[in-house]
A and B are shown apart, each in its own frame.
Chain A
Amino acid sequence: MEYAYYPGCSLEYSGKPYDKSIREVFKALGVKLRDIKDWNCCGATMYVSIDKIVACSVAARNLALAQNMGCDICAPCNSCYTILRKVNRYLAYDPEMRGKILEVLKAANLTYDTPVDVRHPLDILVNDVGLDTIKEAAPYRFDGLKVAPYYGCQLVRPEHHFDDVDDPMTMDNLLTALGADVVPFASKVRCCGGSLMTTCEEVALDLNNSILKDAEDNGAEIMVTACALCQMNLEGYQKKINKRYSQKHNMPIVFFSQLIGLALGVNPKRLGLQSMLVKPKNLKLIPKGMKVEA
């Protein structure tokens, strides 16, 4: 099993712990990630706001670079994932636009004839590797840990790609398989505001406050995300939210890959856990087979 890895700009720095833990988890499970050489920014939600042909062409350079690698792309950032999939969809839909984008790619001596599928690591881990394999490979469990899985928007919308748009279960099932106690969490696909944290802070703070409150009200000790921007919004702005709304949020927000990594026995430092702003507490790893007293 191998994939063409597209980390995206966020995972180089602000989402570094996500990048580190994805690489460690894939390595521990024997799945090969080959970096797409010299990839560029996908343009995110920003370039589509300015020009569609430019936006699609810039993103398509990455697809063109990946096409000769002979495997699906693995894109952990929800925004990159959505944009790259969208470009594939647009190319298949509109022959005129396809012609234009292929013409534009020629300026960089690139072609893109064979569509490359773009996958999210959560999809790969659960549907290609499989829950049973992960369970078997993991020497530790999280029995009793109360977790709220937060999917965000662009992982499941606009397409029904690998999970439900309203009530996705992939991350729930993964965490349950590792023994965690997944709490009911209606806000699991409620928007964190994305880049509104920069352009319209009062809106984004309000959205994140209500998501954090929902997780707390349902007894979560920790929240788990699958997107670098969601993670940053939920973790980095808790102090501001507390001040503005008189709250006492102190919720650790980790990447799902960090938890799997711990269960697989990877050193926490290699998973970037020391870079988190809110330290995860009560992360008791229980050796598999050991009974936990209630």
Chain B
Amino acid sequence: MPSIPPIPEPKRQREADLREAFLKEVAGIPAGEKIKNCIQCGTCTATCPVSRWMDITPRETVALFRAGMLEEILESRTIWICASCYSCTVRCPMGIQVTDLLYALKRLATDKKIYPSRFPAHALSDTFISSLYRFGRIYELELGLRYFLKTHPLKLLANIGFGLLMIIKGRMAILPKRIKKANEVKAIINRAKELEGV
């Protein structure tokens, strides 16, 4: 019988690091520890409205985590396809906070910069928070422009008509609106990052 090759050392170390960071995130989620109660029933996958577009289903995500394959999870499109509708969370018979765990995985992926290839969905978060940082609020026109320029420039052209229609209907601002104390928001973000060491 052929012997099973051992997991290469660098991979094991990387997995251990990811695991430690992930478990730290889990500890901060109310009822986060319930992940260990998963019975692999698949209710999360069945109830998920977008699981059929995922490369790894929500149930498989927990299975892969247990098998020590966090990196594979982070490389999957799954965590960025989750629209956070919380269907899985309210239906899980074991009370697992699936949506919040997927958020923890998104944070881990962002922190470690491990993303699925040719699937830039995570870029929206970066663009969004940059608007928040500068204006204190979201400037939708710039958000759309920057996100599509960064990811799918052709889609920008396809959406110009819709953007104009929204402007005509008074439902899109041409100029940003900065809050009076935008500096307060900046100070909060900077201080929080300082405390977190990021």
Contact = CB atoms under 8 A, between A and B. Distances in A.
Interface residues of B, number: 63
Interface string A14-56: 1111000000000000000000001111011111111111100
Given A38-B181, A153-B85, A49 B122 contact: yes
A48 B49 CA distance: 21
Nearest to B183: A108
B2 interface: no
Contact of B195 (A13, A16, A94, A100): A100
B116 to A, nearest CB: 11
B179 A38 contact: yes
Contacts of B89: 157-158
Given A9-B138, A13-B171, A40-B179, A277 B165 contact: yes
B196 to A, nearest CB: 5
B181 A193 contact: no
Interface residues of A, number: 65
B36 interface: no
Interface stretch (A141-149, A196-204, A245-253, A257-265): A196-204
Contact of A61 (B99, B140, B172, B185): B185
A279 to B, nearest CB: 12
A275 B167 CA distance: 10
B84 interface: yes
Interface in B157-175: 162, 165-166, 169-173
B118 interface: no
Contact of A108 (B49, B184, B193): B184
Chain B interface secondary structure, helix, strand, loop or mixed?
helix
Contact of B121 (A47, A61, A200): A200
B172 to A, nearest CB: 6
B137 A41 contact: yes
B50 A193 contact: yes
Contacts of B97: 158
Given A45-B84, A277-B169, A51 B162 contact: no
Contacts, number: 186
Interface in A45-83: 45-54, 57-58, 61
A54 B193 contact: yes
A130 interface: no
A193 B49 CA distance: 9
A191 B103 contact: no
B166 to A, nearest CB: 7
A50 B115 CA distance: 13
B106 A49 contact: yes
A90 B89 CA distance: 16
Contact of A50 (B49, B87, B125): B125
B144 interface: yes
A179 B92 CA distance: 37
Interface stretch (B4-12, B63-71, B128-136): B128-136
B163 to A, nearest CB: 11
Interface string B1-41: 00000000000000000000000010010100000000000
A103 B195 contact: yes
Interface of A: 9-10, 12-17, 38-41, 43-54, 57-58, 61, 89-90, 93-94, 96-97, 100-101, 103-108, 110, 153-154, 157-158, 165-166, 190-191, 193-196, 198-203, 207, 236, 275-277
8 contacts: A9-B137, A12-B137, A40-B184, A51-B198, A53-B192, A94-B28, A103-B195, A203-B50
